[in-house]
Amino acid sequence: MNRTFGNTDLKTSSIVYGCMGGAGAFGAQEEKDSIEALQEAFNVGINFFDTAEAYGDGYSEQLLARALGDKRSELVISSKVTPANMAPDDLIDACERSLKNLGTDHIDLYMLHWPNRDVPFADSIGALQKLKQDGKIRWFGVSNFGTRDLDEALGLGEISVNQLPYHLFFRAIEFEVQPKCEAAGVPIMCYSSLMQGLLAGKYRSLQEFPVNRARTRMFDHRKWAEVVHTETGAEDAGQELLDALWALVEQTGLSMEELAIGWLKSRPAVGGVIVGTRNAAQSRDLKKLLDVELDAATLQTLSDASNRLKEDLGSDIDMWGKNRTR
């Protein structure tokens, strides 16, 4: 069942279909599979689709148009502008390109993808306000904004979303950003909700995780080739959580995805949970994530099991430790 997204008039599904993978972000991807995955996500009841100009340099937006262009009136589409295009004229041009890619005359929710501190937020948000006045976008917001950046943005205009990394293996937003969003009435759209597959019930050990995905601050920089941060990680706490999740899968009969997404859907200020797929069969499985609701005892068990990792990783909301947020 769809609900109103924050303070907007958008009626959205609780699961947001994430379009990044369809453009090849997680490996080679057949266009036919991507299109069928999008169509089947819509068929199971998802009406909210999240993309960005950065995903395949506009290809993700084009795929969405090819797959579901004839359903435009039934969709809620969010897209994002890259930091390189946040000067006012560049931002407006970027929006026009996205509109063309999407084959539509408006974007429902348009976001600043990451902070760009070389361009005053007042300039970028001023351009967003103009786009809204001109009917090119309906609502606007931000992504990856910490408390200081969010405070500044909120002082400049109505922010309708903050898209953030959030899942059982990464709860950094809970220290400062989530309470700020809740108090300000800004819904959170959670990305990386299945931790790039770690929460998909495929791995019993962190050591089995593909090296090209093991890049977050949980992983020890001394042991993983693609890590860019310099932290020693929190792998003991991470493995402890993974073990607890497998035990709960066995106890409840629910899949790990249902546990992970059900927990996120229950969290304060969460307005949507982004999940992506690679083919139609995977998209059909999203129906159970739309429907899942966890009881209070299971929710508490999940929170308790992930508390140690939360504390070990702390409050830095840049999941990859690149010092891009504040």
User: Sorting pLDDT into bands at 50, 70 and 90, what band is 120?
Assistant: very high
CATH for 3-197+256-293, among 3.30.70.2860, 3.20.20.100, 3.90.600.10, 3.30.1330.40?
3.20.20.100
Closest CA to 311 of 152, 175, 162, 144: 175
Q: What is the distance between the alpha carbons of residues 78 and 86, in angstroms, rounded to a whole number? A: 17
Q: Which of 55, 59, 110, 191 is catalytic?
A: 55
Question: How confident is the model over 23-41, as pLDDT tens digits?
Answer: 776 777 899 999 999 999 9
The answer to whether the CB of 149 falls within 8 A of the CB of 121 is yes
Say yes or no to pLDDT of 323 above 90.
Answer: no
pLDDT at residue 27, as a whole number: 74
User: Does 59 qualify as catalytic in the annotation?
Assistant: no
Question: How confident is the model over 196-245, as pLDDT tens digits?
Answer: 999 999 999 999 999 999 999 999 999 998 899 999 999 999 999 999 99
Residue 14 neighbours by CB under 8 Å, 6+ apart: 3, 265, 272, 273, 290
pLDDT at residue 297, as a whole number: 98
Residue 114 neighbours by CB under 8 Å, 6+ apart: 82, 83, 143, 144, 324
Say yes or no to pLDDT of 192 above 80.
Answer: yes
pLDDT at residue 1, as a whole number: 80
The answer to whether the CB of 261 falls within 8 A of the CB of 285 is no
Averaged pLDDT of the chain: 96
pLDDT at residue 81, as a whole number: 98
